[in-house]
Chains A and B, each alone.
Chain A
Amino acid sequence: MKHVFTLGLALLCLARCTKDEIDLYGNTDYLCFADSTPDVIGSTDIIEYSFAFNPGAVHDTIPVFVKLVGNQSPVNRPIALTVDAENTTALEGDFELPHPLVFRAGLAVDTLALVLHHSEGLQQEKRTLRLTIHENEHFKLGPLTNRYIDIHFSDMIARPAWWNNTVTTNFLGAYSDTKYRLFIEATGIADMGDLSENEQRAYAVIFRDFLARGREQGEIYEDEHGLINVSPNLT
C-alpha cells in the first residue's frame, strides 16, 4: 500500500512537469460587429434609424462598426458579409452594402458605410436588416453575440423621453408626431435630452419663430390637437 502511494506521488510530480504548448498570440484573427463603443466588446447594439430625424433625406449613410481581434494587417482584407434573408424584412432597394467589402489595412476597428434608402411605407412600418459575418480565409468569427447585427429603420417618429411634462408645460406644448417632425425641421435637432433648460428654451423659441414665419407665408400647421403652437408659458 505504501508503495502505491509513493508511486502515485511520483506520477503526480511528473505530470506537473509537463509543459503546455502555447499558441502564438495573433496566429488567428477574429472579426465581429461592435457597438458604438468599439473599444469594448459587449453584445452588439441594435442600430435604430429614422428618416424622420433627417427631414427631406432620400437616403442616408449609417456607420456599422466591425472590430478585429488579432493582428492588424498591412493590406486590406476582404470581409464575408451577407444579408440574413430569414431575419430581414427590408426590401432589396432599401439599402446598399458597402463595396468593396474589406477590412482596411492598419485598422483595429473599421467602419462600414451602409446606405439606407427612403421608400414608401417607411412611415407606416419599421423594417429590419440583419447583416451576418462569415468566416473566410482571413478571419475567424468572434463572439457568438457579435456575429450579426440588426438595423431597424423607418420614417416613423415617437414621443421621445425628453419631451416630458416640463418640456410640455414650459416650452413645446402637447406632443404630436407632426409637431415633433416640424420641430426637427425648424431646429435641426431631434434630441434635447442632454440640454439645459436655457438651451431647451432657446430651441423652443426657434421653433415658435419657425411656425410664425411659416404661417406668415401661408403655411398651415395643424395636428390632432388643432393648430400647432408652442406652450403659452414660453417667454
Chain B
Amino acid sequence: MKQFIFLHMIFGLALMACACHQDKGLYDYADVNKVVIDLGNNGFLGPKTSDTLHINPLLIYRGDTTLATHVSETFTFIWYCNGEEISRNPQLVYAVRELTGKRPYVKLKVINKADESTFLAGFYVDAVPEYQTGWVVLTKKENRGIISFIDPDTYVVTADFYTTIAQEELGPNAIAVKEHWMAGGGLTNTGNILIVRNDPAGNIELDGTNLGPIYNTNNFFLGNVLPDDFRPRGEFYMWDYSFMLDDNGNVYTRKHENNAYAQSGVYPNKPMFIPSGVKFHKGWSGTHLSGQTIFYDQTNGSLYLGTDHGFVLPINYMSGPPIPPGTTLIHAMDKELAYVGKLQQGRFTSSYFLFFRDDTGQHYVQKIQVMDQYYTCAALFFSEKPFGVGTATPQSIFCQLQRIENYLFYSGGTNNNTLYLYEHSQAQSSAYFTFDAPIKTIAARQNSVMGVTTHDQLLVGLENGDTYVLGILSEQMANPAARLIKRIELDQGVPVSSMYKVGFGYTQL
C-alpha cells in the first residue's frame, strides 16, 4: 500500500512540475492592423425608394483615413444585403428599390488580402416611399381635372399622375385634395389622398404610398344606393366617424367599423336629420387630433360642429362674460364666413380662426375654441379684429398655419397677385411676395425643423399655371430676398386646390 501511495505521489509531483514549466515562447507574431469602417451614417439610412445608394466607405487603417476606392489593392470588399452578396466593388452604387427584404440590412465585409483579417460594418435601410411626402396640386385644364405631385427636395414634377396610374380621367369636377390618416392604422402608417369631386361619380381615395386609386367613396353608401341627386361637396374624416356633405347641403354620417381601415362603415343613403331643415353651405376639417368638423349654415348664419361621436351640433358661445357688442355672432352671423383656419390643439377641444367678410368687403377674424361636450357644443370666445383693410378681397385665398398660431397667409391686392402675411398678435398685414398672376391656391408645408414640428414653406399656385415655393422660416421672413425658393412651371392649368402631403400619421399628433 505504501508503495502504491509513493508511486502516486511521484506521478503527481511530475505533473505539477510540468504545469509550472514556463513556455519561453519562440513565435513569429505579426501585428494585425485593425480597420475601422466608416459608412457615413449612424447605422440607419432613410433614402427614398427612388434613390440610388452611393456609399464610398472611409477606412481608418494604420493611422490613415482613406477612401475605400483608394485601397482596393490591399483589401477585398464584399457588400451584402440581408446576407446576400450584392457587390464586390469598394464603392456601393445600388438602387434602393432593388434592396431585398422588408427592412434591408446592408453589410460591408472588408478583408485584408495579406492576412485574411476581416472587418465588418453595416446599416439598416428604412426606405421612404417615393411619394411619402410632397406637394400635391389639383389643377383644371381644358375641362380636365389634373393632379400632380411635386417632390419637396428635387421639385421634380410627376404631372397628371392619376391619369397615368389609374388609366382613367379624373373628370372636370374635382374640387379639393386633402390628406386622410387612419386613426387605428398605426402612427407609422402613411396618410392617403382624398380627391373630392363635385360629381355623381363620387370621391376617390388614393394610396398614400404609391398614389394608386384604392376606393371610390360612392361605394360606401347603404346598399350601394346613392342618395337622390347626389354630388359631394366635401368629405370629412375623423377618428371614428366621417361626414359627407353634398351639393344640396345635406350631410351623411357613418361610424368607422374599424378605424384602422381607410374606408369602413356605410353612409345612410338618406340625409341626416338636422333640426329646422338646416342645410350646410360648406365644411372644414378640424385637425386630425381634434376629431372635429366645422359646418357652415350660410342661410341662417350659423356654425355647427360635426363630432367624432356622429352628431352635428349647433355651436353656441359658452356662458360667461358677455360677447363684446359688434362681434359677429357665430349663431347669427351678419357676415359671410369665408374661411375657417384650424389650429393644432387638443382632442375634442380645439381652436379656430373664423374669417368673415361683410358686404363692403371688410374682413374680420375671430378666434374661438370649440369644445365638444358630447350632446352639446360650446365655444369660448377669444377676440374679433378687423383685418386686411385694402388688401383682402372677395377673391382672397387664406392659409392659416395650423402649428404657428400667429401667422395667416392670404392673397389680395391688385388682381389678387400679392401674398400677405397677417400676424394675429400684432393685428397687422404685410406684403410677403408679389406674383405676376392671380393667386389661386396656398398650402403650407409641415416639417421638422431642429426637432420641432412646424411650417417652413408655402406653395402658391397661380392662375397662369406656375407654382412658387416660398420660405417662411424666421430668416426668410426677415429677408424678403431669401423668400423665393423655387419657381415651378407646372403648366397643368389653373390650380384648384393644393396640399402638402405630410406622410406618417404621427406627424399629426
Shortest beta-carbon distance from A192 to chain B in Å:
11
Contact, CB under 8 Å: A205 / B253: yes
B233 interface residue per 8 A CB criterion:
no
Contact, CB under 8 Å: A201 / B255: yes
Shortest beta-carbon distance from B258 to chain A in Å:
10
Query: Are A212 and B255 also in contact (CB < 8 A) when A199-B266, A205-B268, A235-B310 are?
Result: no
Query: Are A235 and B255 also in contact (CB < 8 A) when A199-B223, A205-B268 are?
Result: yes
Select which of B266, B269, B270, B272 is within 8 A of A198 by beta carbon: B266
Instruction: Give complex CA distance A206, B225 in Å.
Output: 14
Contact, CB under 8 Å: B257 / A197: yes
Shortest beta-carbon distance from B243 to chain A in Å:
13
Instruction: Give complex CA distance A209, B273 in Å.
Output: 5
Contact, CB under 8 Å: A202 / B273: no
A203 interface residue per 8 A CB criterion:
yes
Residues of A within 8 A of B25 (CB): none
A39 interface residue per 8 A CB criterion:
no
Nearest-neighbor residue (CB-CB) of A204 within chain B: B268
B249 interface residue per 8 A CB criterion:
no
Nearest-neighbor residue (CB-CB) of B275 within chain A: A216
B residues near A (Cβ < 8 Å) are 222-223, 253-255, 257, 264-273, 275-276, 309-311
Shortest beta-carbon distance from B306 to chain A in Å:
13
Contact, CB under 8 Å: A212 / B257: no
Most buried by B among A205, A209, A216: A205
Chain A residues touching B, range: 10 to 19
Nearest-neighbor residue (CB-CB) of B255 within chain A: A201
Instruction: Give complex CA distance A199, B223 in Å.
Output: 8
The 17 sampled A-B contact pairs (Cβ below 8 Å) are: A197-B257, A198-B266, A199-B223, A199-B266, A201-B266, A202-B267, A202-B268, A203-B268, A205-B272, A206-B268, A206-B269, A206-B270, A208-B273, A209-B272, A209-B273, A210-B273, A235-B309
Query: Are A202 and B254 also in contact (CB < 8 A) when A235-B309, A235-B310 are?
Result: yes
Can you name 8 extra interface pairs (CB under 8 A) apart from A206-B268, A208-B273?
A198-B265, A199-B222, A202-B268, A202-B269, A203-B268, A205-B272, A209-B270, A235-B311
Residues of B within 8 A of A197 (CB): 257
Residues of B within 8 A of A77 (CB): none
Shortest beta-carbon distance from B96 to chain A in Å:
40
Instruction: Give complex CA distance A206, B250 in Å.
Output: 13
A-B interface, 8 closest residue pairs, ranked by CB to CB distance from nearest: A209-B273, A212-B273, A202-B268, A202-B222, A206-B268, A202-B266, A198-B266, A206-B270
Residues of B within 8 A of A212 (CB): 273, 275
Instruction: Give complex CA distance A131, B366 in Å.
Output: 75
Residues of A within 8 A of B267 (CB): 202
A138 interface residue per 8 A CB criterion:
no
A59 interface residue per 8 A CB criterion:
no
Instruction: Give complex CA distance A206, B265 in Å.
Output: 14
Residues of B within 8 A of A206 (CB): 222, 268-270
Most buried by A among B271, B273, B275, B309: B273
